[in-house]
Structure 1
Amino acid sequence: MMSTLLPPGQVILQNIGLDLNVTKSLYPHSKRTHYRAAINWLSKYQPPENASNLDKIHGCLEACHHLFELEDWGVVGKILVIRLNTPTKEQLYNQLNTWGYYHIQLGLFTNLLGKLDSEWELTLLNGLGSLYNSLSNYNKAIYYQEKQLSIAREISNRYSESTALSQLGLAHHHLGNYDQSFDFHDQSLAISKEIGSRGGEAASYSNLGNHFNTIGDYDKAISCYSRCLEIAQSINEQKIKGNALCGLGHAYGYLKKYQQEIIYKQQYLTIARKIDDRWGIGAALGDLGLAYSDLGRYSEAIDCYQQHLDIAREVGDQNAEGNALGNLGITYLKMRQLSKAERHLTQSTTIYQEIGVPRGITVNLYELAIIHCMTDRLEQAKEECSQAIEISSRLELPMTSSCQALMWVIRKLQGRYSWIFKYLFKLLLKLLHILKIF
């Protein structure tokens, strides 16, 4: 039975301008063969029973490969903008991203770059920048986003200028360039308001909320996410609505309002599953894990983190992989399973160092320093804590004071009356563990 995800094959052929009768007269024979194959894939392919999303669009992708051989870039472009019958009603090239097929989208966009008109070029550059953000290659993302921004300004495309600024803000946020990130998001918000782009405005508020969450200004974060949620609901933009709910959950978690945190994050997971947003499902599970960990429900937290880790590896998001491993490490530390905690945190740190995410490195160094305090490896703990203080101070992160307090403890443990402080330190850890604070 033909999938209802796509329009009927003959409708697709009519919309993209492919006619078998016309192609019969084409020469050479190889050219005719590729066109005939593309037409057959679009009109005759039927996905198998219980087909995956990728199986359902396999005919479209195979047709694109044949058209690439013919260098018929325009028809490939027409296939990629076919609107699918999904909950988000996205065009094919965007739906690939929602499903988490980043590498397929990357191949299509790379092949088309420089082959179509300026509007398509902006779409492709934006898509490549977004993809490299998703794949945690932030410097490459910035390269494409800066090219997009330059062309958008050259041809006065304000909408594309806004999306380029938004993506630049995301990349710089991950790299720890928070002032630059804020400026990019603020500029994107101003342009979105100017041109009446409600979706762009909502996305900018969500990104600004992320900024304020990171620097510890949770009231401002909640204000931004609430504004984002209001706009997303008014335009029925489910992805952005999910982002707002996720951000609100984080903010209330930081404020130790854990029941509100869980409510928002469960709503986010429901939306992500409804629209089949693969990355979003993983992120929502990871976020729920944080809430369960805060409440001392460690087995539930570990289950969520493990699912997040599996999805992160599936879609190729190294930042999410590092995040899931780090969260597993922190939870094992709370459970006093120190070898597991150290192993996961070390793996996470290696990933963060490879992709250049300083905030993740800082959090992990702090947690590793605690483990090494607990196992009497004080010199190692001191070195890790010193690095954490240096990075967190440079980034002006709220956790700087916690790092400094830990360094004070380490020095006392190494000092003249170390035996007293070791006893008090272990007593404090036991008390915090009983209270499920740490």
Structure 2
Amino acid sequence: MIVRARRVVLPDGERPAAVHATGGRITAVTGFDDVADGDVTGDDVTTLADDEVLLPGLVDSHVHVNEPGRTEWEGFASATRAAAAGGITTVVDMPLNSIPPTTTLDGLATKRAVAAGQVSVDVAFWGGAVPGNTGELRPMLDAGVVGFKCFLLDSGVPEFPPLDDAGLRAVLTELAAVDGLLIAHCEDEATIDAAPDPEGRSYAGFLASRPPAAEETAIARLLAAAADTGARVHVVHLADAGALPLLRRARADGVRVTVETCPHYLTFAADEVPDGDTAYKCCPPIREAAHREALWQALADGDVDLVVSDHSPCTPELKRLDVGDFGLAWGGIAGLQVTLSAVWTGARARGLPLGRVVELMSAAPAALAGLPTKGGIAVGKDADLVAFAPDATATVGVLEHRNPVTPYAGRELTGVVRRVWLHGEPLDGGAPRGRLLDRGGSARVTG
């Protein structure tokens, strides 16, 4: 299989190239014209249109699939179809919102058994760190999870309780011994408890109920525990730009911390959210435009390491669009399929190049999740490729997500995914061909 384009985003820059693959892996990256004469017209050679750029498949390390147990919210079949449609060829499933959660070996086995045969793209799994399961962490790492997710406040579901400071340090001590990774939802419960209640249709009221200090206090707790234990930590879905100085100082002091943000924090701003439109509710919340612009600058400067969807859907009923009450609605943004276009729309407007977007959305999430065969167009990596038209526009309409509620509905975005290859084969809507991955990228089950 050969795919060639006048613009190919490679780890060392963008140039014309031909990408050769055999057995699902990239075997060579040559010049655009470095293709045997007999191959140029063959069925196994694809030449992209002049307005298309060849990208590596994206890696989304923050997806709530919710199956089993809450499959009516989302599921492996629908989530991975949406990912494929958006140019995402690898997702890493979060350990909560499914029943059982992925907090034990049995829970992991259940998750894998349900996913097998359903997935249109490759899927890896996070484990969960909750009170009382420290003894499960090393066995789950040995069984292939890429790391562990924890909450520092109520997660919203009873089967995934938060860690207090003692529990956090116990988990980090256990993981430091094997260089395991902990990723953390950082909001502080006491700070939120002291804030106003988020009742009613007012978005300003909801925003006030989860102030920036809640993120900063919890991040400071995580950083202190990481400094004391030497463990690797990662801050998920940063919305508060005020936390960036804390993170810079911690890194300067040698704390091993990375941080992500999400398309909704880079696209929307609090003063643009209509009262009563609970499709915009997420936690931490979409903040003011000043936070959005500071997060964009942090991406340009390297202070934020990656961009992932935090796709966290639910049923329309749980979003309480009938009453528009931000206090009652489930908090989570559905946006997996539009992640690339949403980020590219904002990046282009701010002069951030496509190569940097690919680094943030492919190479960096692959590195975070320990998936070395993902995240770039290079010899030895999986032949996961995307034909992307960066100047084309489209209005967000019907999506592959199980439920249609999304704040992106009706929004015009720049950048259209036209074709996707997984393991060197085009994704054409046929039978699911995704694999279930262990940490390290090896396939445990062929779907």
TM-score (norm 1): 0.31
Larger helix percent = 1
Between structure 1 and structure 2, the one with the greater Rg is 1
Larger strand percent = 2
